A and B are shown apart, each in its own frame.
Chain A
Amino acid sequence: MQHMRERELDWPEKIVSVLKANNICSISFVPDAVIGKILKIAEKDPYFNVTTLAREEEGIGIITGEYLGGRYGVLMMQSAGIGNCVNALASLAIPYQIPFLILISQRGELGEFNACHMIMGKAIRRILDALGIQHHTLDREDNVETILNGAIKTAYSSDQPVAVILSTALVGWKDEK
């Protein structure tokens, strides 16, 4: 039977609760405004070990090290950060078969105001495809749990990173023009 809630959780709350339910206790991130909403909730919970990265690539190494030690992590970044971690994905996480969830806050599509985010933002799916990394897009509040749970299961059954892209259709965009 479905657990009764006072109110429906919003998407950042859903993400944090899915991570916890899947024993993913470590968060490595480079922030943006979207990731910040998730962190605001996670940081209040002592369950999570939260690591601020200076550059996204470090997160591939850190999560690999944690996995080797028996702890499971998630990497959070903006789409620009995918460009900063391509070789570490291709030469560490994928060949050494290190599973984890990558949460990517999408720039460069709906509602973008900054031309310098458009190229990487639009390229990330093709980059992930070129690396053979499975990716899914979250664009509706009502399938957040299904897609995240499914992506995490696939990552850990295949021993590979799996990416979930947070669309601005779900998380919104800035008013700036």
Chain B
Amino acid sequence: MINRLEATRYLIQQLSDEPVIASCGNPKFDLFTAAGDRKANFYMWNSMGMASSIGLGLAMARPDKKVIVLDGDGAILMNLNSLTTAASKSPSNLAHIIWDNEQYQITGGQPTHTRGKADLESIARGAGFDKVATVDTMAAFKKALSQILSEKGPWILVAKTDSAGAPGRPPKSPVYIRNQFMEASSEKGERP
């Protein structure tokens, strides 16, 4: 089993200025705890399920950047259709990591359907992704990540994690989060 905060810290160590989108729930707490001073982090405070879609839009707008999405099993289960859209558009710079601890951790650990019969790797393949992996040890995560960051995607990595928490809390102002992120990651076209 992977510790999500440790894996997030390792991921950040491998990055330079790549944008990272962190889903609502625990992925954003881990990301802020691991790298709170990093401007290219986008923290979601709600819109559960939208991380995958934000990542797709950003990957299409910025083909020069590897775009990292940190999602959760509960969140992606709420927007599974987005996988079919992402696979159809297939931006090669998209790396979608799903932390799968088989529970709605933030609301008290109620089981998600990945605790039961749902398998996110099979769902991603069925949606049309062919670069998909599931890892459940830190060693396997590191190996998969090295491939994801160096080779063209789009990638989906399902990482089986524990449900340890992280103490950090990102800024609560959505506009502050947006402005910080855009300062680091936006290449502005002429505004309408």
Q: A52-B88, A92-B46, A96-B174 are in contact. Are A69 and B57 (CB under 8 A)?
A: yes
In the complex, which of the residues A52, A55, A65, A72 contacts B55, with contact meaning CB atoms closer than 8 Å?
A65
The distance in angstroms between the C-alpha atoms of A26 and B192, with both chains bound, is: 12
Q: Is B35 an interface residue (CB 8 A)?
A: no
Q: Hey, which chain A residues are within 8 Å of B192, CB to CB?
A: 22-24, 72, 99, 152-153, 155-156
Q: Hey, which chain A residues are within 8 Å of B50, CB to CB?
A: 57-58, 60-61, 64, 88, 92
User: Using an 8 Å CB-CB cutoff, how does the interface string of B57-94 with A read, 1 for contact, 0 for none?
Assistant: 11111100100000000000001011011001100000
Contact B59 A71 (CB under 8 A): no
Q: Is B47 an interface residue (CB 8 A)?
A: yes
Interface of B is mostly: helix
User: Using an 8 Å CB-CB cutoff, how does the interface string of B31-68 with A read, 1 for contact, 0 for none?
Assistant: 00000000000101111111111111111111001000
Contact B177 A72 (CB under 8 A): no
Contact A58 B61 (CB under 8 A): no
Q: Hey, which chain B residues are within 8 Å of A62, CB to CB?
A: 53-54, 56-57, 60, 85
Interface residues of A (CB under 8 A from B): 22-26, 49, 51-55, 57-73, 87-88, 91-92, 95-99, 152-153, 155-156
The distance in angstroms between the C-alpha atoms of A99 and B60, with both chains bound, is: 18
Contact A69 B47 (CB under 8 A): no
Q: How far does the Cβ of B78 sit from chain A's closest Cβ, in whole Å? A: 9
The segment out of B113-121, B144-152, B178-186 that lies at the interface is: B178-186
The distance in angstroms between the C-alpha atoms of A177 and B79, with both chains bound, is: 36
A24, A58, A64 interface centre (most CB from chain B within 10 Å): A58
In the complex, which of the residues B49, B53, B81 contacts A65, with contact meaning CB atoms closer than 8 Å?
B53
Contact B85 A66 (CB under 8 A): no
Q: Hey, which chain B residues are within 8 Å of A55, CB to CB?
A: 79, 81
Q: Hey, which chain A residues are within 8 Å of B51, CB to CB?
A: 61
Contact A68 B85 (CB under 8 A): no
Q: Which residue of A lies closest to B181 (CB)?
A: A68
In the complex, which of the residues A26, A61, A87, A99 contacts B54, with contact meaning CB atoms closer than 8 Å?
A61
Q: For the complex of A and B, list the 9 residue pairs with the smallest distance between their C-beta atoms, beginning with the closest.
A: A65-B57, A61-B53, A69-B61, A91-B46, A54-B81, A65-B58, A92-B47, A62-B57, A71-B61
Contact B47 A70 (CB under 8 A): no
Contact A97 B79 (CB under 8 A): no
Contact A58 B81 (CB under 8 A): yes
In the complex, which of the residues A49, A60, A96, A97 contacts B60, with contact meaning CB atoms closer than 8 Å?
A49
